[in-house]
Amino acid sequence: MLEIKPSRQKPKQQTEPLPPAVPPAGLTIAEASRRTGVSVHTLRYYERAGLVVTVVDRTPGGRRRYHQQDLDWILMCTKLRATGMPIKTVHRYAQLVAAGHGNEEERLALMEDHRAEVAARLDELRQNLKLIDHKIDVYRGRLAAGEAEQLWAPEGRAKAG
């Protein structure tokens, strides 16, 4: 099935607030922090901890200068972290990536393991969300009943909750 997508005719100017391109000189750590949402402390911590596979550029004086690839990788790290991957595992992953092609089996295994964990937690979360929704229903019900008829107690010694 072929489908003609309404292509943007002139992608010259995007009205989306895309982040401005990283200047060739790179970004200060403060800018990198703004763009990634990661504090400067944590940026340095991630680097120390070996999460950052790219080698962040430095000025002659030793200040970090972040380029797009650094930001990309750091954002990747934040997403892995957001799925609950421990720092240690991100570190291992970074080492595999840094080692270059040839260890795709290991990367695959690492990601598949992690995927299984994330999927399991997703299921658990969904399940527990139902419970929360049930609780919310109960309280809304009680409030509706209470407001409609103050003196009628809809439950005598109901179970707590």
36 binds its own copies (CB under 8 A): no
Query: Site residues for its own copies, window 2-21 (CB under 8 A)?
Result: none
**How long a stretch of residues is the chain?**
161
- 114 makes contact with DNA (CB under 7 A): no
List Cβ neighbours of 84 (8 Å cut-off, separation of 6 or more): 117, 118, 121
Indicate whether 49 belongs to the interface with its own copies (CB under 8 A).
no
Q: What character string, x for contact with its own copies (CB under 8 A) and - otherwise, covers 60-99?
A: ---------x--xx--x--xx-xx-------------xx-
Torsions phi, psi of 110, nearest 5?
-60, -45
Measured between alpha carbons, how far is 47 from 86 in angstroms, rounded to an integer?
15
Q: How far is the CB of 21 from DNA (least distance, A)?
A: 18
Find the shortest distance in angstroms from Cβ 116 to DNA: 18
CB 51 within 8 A of CB 89: no
Q: Which of 59, 69, 83, 128 binds DNA (CB under 7 A)?
A: 59
Which residues of the shown chain bind DNA in the complex (CB under 7 A)?
Answer: 28-31, 39-42, 44-45, 48, 59-64, 81, 86-88
Which residues of the shown chain bind its own copies in the complex (CB under 8 A)?
Answer: 53-54, 69, 72-73, 76, 79-80, 82-83, 97-98, 101, 104-105, 107-108, 111-112, 114-115, 118-119, 121-122, 124-126, 128-129, 131-133, 135-136, 139-140, 142-143, 146, 153, 155, 159-161
